């Protein structure tokens, strides 16, 4: 009897579906705090995070499923060494891409300044810019980056895509490898970080990249905070090296109250909510239920993670 340990949300009807399809399964529902008590016999985990120490307590583990896309809270190297399969949930493309376009519109249409003027009862016309005809550089063109590019094309934007492989994409006009970012970033009116956090992408956007950007350019981060060197970004914003930023993720979360980013008039701070959408937890759970069947059948996992690459 395969034991599956679950700390993530799993709706009753999906529990019933899993049990009806596979009555031989033993489902154990617990909390993150009590997870370690159930690891010794666990063969499958549906959890939000896992430590190296917890992995060592699970000698029978075959598969881990997480309910979101990012994997920086998982011991990827240890999972690979053990031969444990990992799947994530790539379900946030639509919601994050819509917010990203909203961020760009808010920046170019001076929404924050307009709102401040409204609060002070000031009738002032402020500068307005079009997205049409501007250039978007996307660092990462996976599920989320691809959806951003798709929507950007509807606004008449030119799209540049940067990935480790430099592979093409239907909604990307020009594709480059990530190490070519320094050569092309001066063309961008918007630089959007939409890539996973790996050793290669940590502080990939740094002082050198920021100094190469247009003074009129904006930077957005809807991926992972440490992809951007936050200290370098703050310095660039204070020195007006770039025009502004919209940030949904940060190197330390919650963003410390003393961070200068809170009070910068050219910065929009979001509390890591880009992927929040009613129904997402169910979509993630459906992938998990599907993957249990895949595992038992010996079929490839849906949203399988390549542990050698980290995404």
Triad 51, 53, 55: Cα angle to 5°? 70
Catalytic (active site) residue 272? yes
Crossing angle of helices 143-154 and 93-108, in 10° steps, is 50
How many Å apart are CA 302 and CA 90, to the nearest integer?
Answer: 10
How many Å apart are CA 208 and CA 204, to the nearest integer?
Answer: 10
Distances (CA, A) of 99 to 110, 151, 174, 205: 16, 11, 23, 21
Determine which one of 32, 81, 200, 253 is catalytic: 253
How many Å apart are CA 35 and CA 41, to the nearest integer?
Answer: 12
How many Å apart are CA 98 and CA 96, to the nearest integer?
Answer: 5
Catalytic (active site) residue 125? no
Determine which one of 272, 282, 283, 290 is catalytic: 272
> Could you give the 3-state DSSP secondary structure of residue 17?
helix
> Omega before 241 cis (within 30°)?
no
Determine which one of 90, 92, 224, 230 is catalytic: 224
Distance linking the first and last C-alpha atoms of the chain: 31
CB 274 within 8 A of CB 99: yes
Tokens found for residue 54? 């917890």
Paired with 85 in beta bridges are 63
Tokens found for residue 155? 């606004």
Paired with 135 in beta bridges are 158
How many Å apart are CA 15 and CA 182, to the nearest integer?
Answer: 49
Outline where 222-303 has alpha helix (H).
Answer: 230-238, 280-297
The residues assigned a catalytic role are 224, 253, 272
């Amino acid at each position: 009897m395969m034991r599956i340990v679950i700390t993530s949300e799993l709706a009753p009807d999906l529990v019933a579906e899993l049990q009806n399809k596979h009555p031989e399964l033993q489902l154990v529902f617990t909390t993150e705090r009590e997870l370690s008590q159930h690891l010794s016999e666990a063969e499958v985990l549906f959890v939000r995070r896992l430590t190296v120490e917890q992995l060592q307590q699970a000698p029978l583990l075959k598969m881990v499923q997480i309910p979101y896309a990012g994997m920086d809270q998982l011991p990827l190297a240890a999972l690979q060494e053990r031969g444990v399969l990992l799947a994530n949930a790539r379900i946030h493309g639509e919601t994050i891409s819509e917010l990203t376009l909203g961020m760009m519109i808010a920046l170019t249409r001076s929404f924050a300044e307009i709102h401040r003027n409204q609060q002070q009862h000031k009738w002032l016309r402020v500068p307005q810019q079009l997205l049409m005809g501007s250039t978007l550089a996307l660092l990462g063109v996976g599920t989320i980056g691809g959806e951003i590019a798709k929507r950007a094309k509807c606004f008449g934007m030119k799209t540049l895509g940067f990935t480790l492989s430099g592979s093409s994409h239907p909604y990307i006009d020009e594709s480059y490898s990530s190490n070519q970012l320094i050569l092309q970033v001066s063309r961008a009116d918007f630089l959007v970080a939409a890539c996973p956090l790996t050793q290669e992408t940590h502080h990939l956007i740094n002082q050198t990249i920021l100094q190469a950007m247009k003074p009129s350019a904006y930077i957005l981060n809807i991926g992972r905070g440490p992809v951007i060197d936050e200290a370098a970004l703050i310095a660039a914003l204070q020195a007006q090296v770039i025009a502004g930023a919209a940030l949904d993720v940060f190197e330390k979360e919650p963003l410390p109250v003393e961070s200068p980013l809170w009070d910068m008039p050219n910065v929009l701070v979001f509390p890591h909510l880009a992927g929040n959408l009613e129904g997402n937890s169910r979509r993630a759970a459906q992938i998990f239920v599907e993957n249990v069947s895949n595992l038992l059948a010996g079929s490839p996992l849906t949203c399988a993670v390549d542990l050698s690459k980290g995404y």
